[in-house]
Structure 1
Amino acid sequence: MSIDIASFTPGLSLTGGLLIGAAVAVLVLFNGRIAGISGILGGLLGTPQKGAGWRIAFLVGLIGAPLLVGWLGDPIAPHIQAGWMEILVAGFLVGIGTRYASGCTSGHGVCGISRGSPRSFVAIATFIVSGFVTVFITRHLLGG
């Protein structure tokens, strides 16, 4: 195993993690809500509810912040080695998985584990194992 030193950014990763943790803490302390992206988005897609404003603001910030950083000249832009069809299929599968898991990695991983939720520990373990299996199959068995 080798580390691509240009992509090894522990300082930026720590900063990003601290910002995500702060955002989650602010949302739960001031709004009493869990920062699970699938739940936030799902709350907008169903019947109109109270609280649509904070959901929209959260999603606008979630999408807008990386766009703003990219516009300002982000030196570390990700390179995705997949076509649009692969990305769409993967997104669809993630969407189905979040429905079955009753949440996504942000809800279970950041919020659920910090609350000690057994369901979240199982969900995150399943996400990680699924990721390992997917990478193994695509890189070693399919020759990608």
Structure 2
Amino acid sequence: METMFTPVPALAGGVLIGLAATALMLISGRIFGATGILAGVLRRPAAAETAWRVALILGMASGPLAVAAVTGQMPEVTVPVSLPMLLIGGVIVGIGVTYGSGCTSGHGICGMARLSPRSIAATATFMVSTFATVFVVRHLIGA
């Protein structure tokens, strides 16, 4: 499997995520942790809490539609694993988010920007785990 590195879209996406996280912090004092935001919707908090969370989730999910509006076609998404593997991965991520007290966006973007020691440790753990997983999958398993 070959991964295509696309620096301009990656940079643009990073800038937009950073701006969104900053805007959320400035406007509402909230941390942009995607899984925490989704969990907040699923727990059905007060209507005022639900509204901004749903708006943010819809904004994140509408990204492909924005690409289609600009380019005239939906972005191609290929997922090189089966549905059972996606489900297993989702469960593993859910467990990690629970034990890690947050996700990559909460710790890696917001926590690191605040110089939170817990977020720095969590982000370092994410990165080491990612490197190890890619190495095992690509070089030991051969996928």
Q: TM-score, normalised by structure 2?
A: 0.87
Write the letter of the residue equivalent to 1:42: A
Q: Which structure 2 residues correspond to residues 35-114 of structure 1 after superposition, within 5 A?
A: 35-49=32-46, 50-70=48-68, 72-74=72-74, 77-114=76-113
Q: CA deviation at 1:140?
A: 2.5
Q: CA deviation at 1:8?
A: 3.1
Is the 8 Å Cα contact of residues 35 and 102 (structure 2) preserved in structure 1? yes
Q: CA deviation at 1:136?
A: 1.9
Distance in 1, matches of 2:5 and 2:93, equals 26
Other structure's SS at 2:113 match: coil
Q: Which structure 2 residues correspond to residues 17-36 of structure 1 after superposition, within 5 A?
A: 17-36=14-33
For structure 2, the 5+ residue unaligned runs are none
Structure 1's consecutive aligned runs of 4 or more residues displaced over 3 angstroms after TM superposition are none
Is the 8 Å Cα contact of residues 44 and 52 (structure 1) preserved in structure 2? yes
**Residue matched to 2:118:** 119
Query: For residues 67-107 of structure 1, what are the alpha-carbon distances to aligned partners after superposition, in whole Å with 9 as ceiling and x for unaligned?
Result: 44247325x63432111111111111011100000000000
Write the letter of the residue equivalent to 1:25: T
Q: TM-score, normalised by structure 1?
A: 0.86
For structure 1, the 5+ residue unaligned runs are none
Distance in 1, matches of 2:68 and 2:89, equals 24
* Counterparts in 2 of 1:62 and 1:120: CA distance versus 1, 3 Å: same
Distance in 1, matches of 2:9 and 2:105, equals 19
| Aligned partner (choices 9, 13, 18) of residue 16 of structure 1 | 13
Q: CA deviation at 1:47?
A: 4.6
- Number of corresponding residues: 139
Write the letter of the residue equivalent to 1:69: V
Give the aligned CA root-mean-square deviation in angstroms.
Answer: 1.9
